[in-house]
Structure formats: C-alpha cells, structure tokens
Amino acid sequence: MKKCILAVLLFAFAFCACACGRVTGAILAPTMPGNTTPSANAPTSKQEPTGTVPTDRPTDIPATEPLTPTPTMKPENSPTPTPTQAPTPTPLPGDDGKIVVVLDPGHGGIWTGATSRGYVEAEITLKIANYCKEYIEKTYPSIKVYMTRTENKTFSNDLPTDLKERIYFAKEKNADVLVSLHLNAFNGKSSGCLICTQHQPQVKDDAARLGTLILEQLEALGIKSRAMSNGVRKGLYIRYSSDFFDDQGNPKEYYQICRNAANENLVGIIVEHCFIDSEDDTKYFADEEAIRRLAIADAKGIAKYFGIE
C-alpha cells in the first residue's frame, strides 16, 4: 500500500514539473511564428538632422536651419521623388513689367529661430525685410518687392510644408529672385556673415553672383565673411544633400529653401547676416538703425545683381 501511495506521489510530482517547464518555456521563447528579434541587416529609415548643428555637420560650420525636427528622408539609393509642382504663375496687375523680388523673413510663428540674450531671430529678420522693402521701392522704382510674411506667422506649422509654401508664394508672384533673411547661431563660437547658395546648374551661377554682391555690401559695414572651404568664394557656402539627388545622381542642396527654389528654377539664397549669439556681432543688429543698415546692404546687393546702381 505504501509503495502504491509513493508511486502516485512520484507521478504527480513529475506531472507538475513538466507543466511548469512548459510555462517557463513560453516566457523565454514566444510560441508565435517568426523571429521577433530585429535582424542586423534590417533596413532603417534615414532621418534628416534635427538640431541646431546636424550630427553630420563639421563642428566649425554654423547652423542655418530652424531648431525643429524635420521628417524622415528617403534612403540614398531609393529613387528621387518628383517635387510637388507650384501653381502656374500668372501675370500680376500693377507690376508693369518691373523686376520682382521676394524677401523671405526667416522663421516666424512657432518657429522663433535662434535666440540669444533677449534677441529673437524671427523678430529681427522681419524688421530687416521691412526696411529692405522700403529702401528698394523708394530707391529703385523698377523693382517690385513682396514679402512671404508681414507679421509673426507662417504658412504652416509643419516645417517642410511651410518652407515649400514660401517658394510657391515666390513663384505665384513671378519672382526673379528669392532672398531668405536670417541670423546665424553657433553657441557663441563664431561670427561673421555667410550666404548659403545653390549648385544645381540652372541656377548656380546666378545664385553665386547674387550672393557675392550682397556679401560685398555686408562686408562694407565691417562684417567679416566666414571662410568656408567649399564655397564659390569666401562667405558663400554650398552644402550638399546626402538624401536628395537629381536624375543624373548628383546631390541637390541640403537646405530646403535653396533646394526647393532650384527645383522650381528659381534663384533662391539664404543670407545669414551675422551671429545672434556672438558678442562681436551684436552691434550689427542691436538697435533699429543697425538693423536698417543690414537691410540697405541687402537692397544694394540685390539692385546691383539686376544692374541697377
């Protein structure tokens, strides 16, 4: 009898041990089909840099993009998407055959741009644009000026959409050039003026010439040009995209304003007048008269581009 009871107890113990082993196995190794561990070769999306200084940017190159994350970019080897076409420009009444310049005060709305010691880039760029427009239209009557914004707001709270709409606005106005106005920032470590230009062949030479003429006027105010190794000239800067390519596989411009404008065959440059976080550069934007001088320098450079003295 004792042997029977002992045998029953041993059988029950063995059954429980097997059941527990099955539960433990279910936790350590999922019973769902397929491998849930990511493969070392699994593709990952390529992201556009998201900070003031993108991770692939050399540390001595100043930032020019807004402090805002941008959307996932396409992998390098995938086909280049066809850019969204802007509305077909139509002649505007009242221009009377004038040269059309679109000024783009950088940032605005939720995009404040760079800030330092109480200075806000979006506020200063709007002042520069207003003074520049006023000076051009008083001094050069053959030029008509439009502004992408006239107050503290933007086309969209989605950054890529906002930047594209600025270009579409310029196309709708039949712009001859678009000049995007900015101040730079680099943790107080840099100073001077810098212009981001274009390299796609249909706009490259004109963009470089416009940038050079504006730089000369800024230099006349005493602002030094940033020395860049891959620019057409000291102070001109071209940064190549690692994500966007033309039909021949050549990289397009990194900065969206320059790239989107070139996609529309429009000369479009970014003027980084000076560094908002540089004590050396503060005197160039610290008061209304200083800001007005920056604006006039832009205006004179633009006029010279069109052969107007």
Q: Is the pLDDT of residue 181 over 80?
A: yes
The predicted pLDDT at position 4 comes to 46
Question: In the chain, where are the structural domains located?
Answer: 114-305
The predicted pLDDT at position 96 comes to 75
**What percentage of the chain has pLDDT greater than the value 90?**
58
Q: Is the pLDDT of residue 85 over 80?
A: no
The predicted pLDDT at position 229 comes to 55
Question: Where in 112-185 does DSSP place strands (E)?
Answer: 115-116, 119-120, 143-147, 177-184
Options 1.10.3720.10, 3.30.930.10, 3.40.50.720, 3.40.630.40; CATH for 114-305 is 3.40.630.40
* Range in 93-102, 125-134, 152-161, 194-203 with the lowest mean pLDDT: 93-102
User: pLDDT class for 240, splitting at 50, 70, 90?
Assistant: confident
Q: Which of 87, 82, 68, 73 is nearest to 165 (CA)?
A: 87
Q: Which of 292, 270, 293 is nearest to 103 (CA)?
A: 270
User: pLDDT class for 60, splitting at 50, 70, 90?
Assistant: very low
Instruction: Output the average pLDDT for the chain.
Output: 76
Backbone φ and ψ for 186, nearest 5 degrees, come out as -155, 55
Q: Is the pLDDT of residue 36 over 80?
A: no
Q: Is the pLDDT of residue 14 over 90?
A: no
201 sits in the region (left: phi over 0; alpha: psi -120 to 50; else beta) called alpha
**Over the Cα atoms of the chain, what is R_g?**
29
Cα(157)–Cα(177) distance, integer angstroms: 25
Q: Is the pLDDT of residue 5 over 90?
A: no
User: pLDDT class for 64, splitting at 50, 70, 90?
Assistant: very low
The predicted pLDDT at position 232 comes to 57
Q: Is the pLDDT of residue 126 over 60?
A: yes
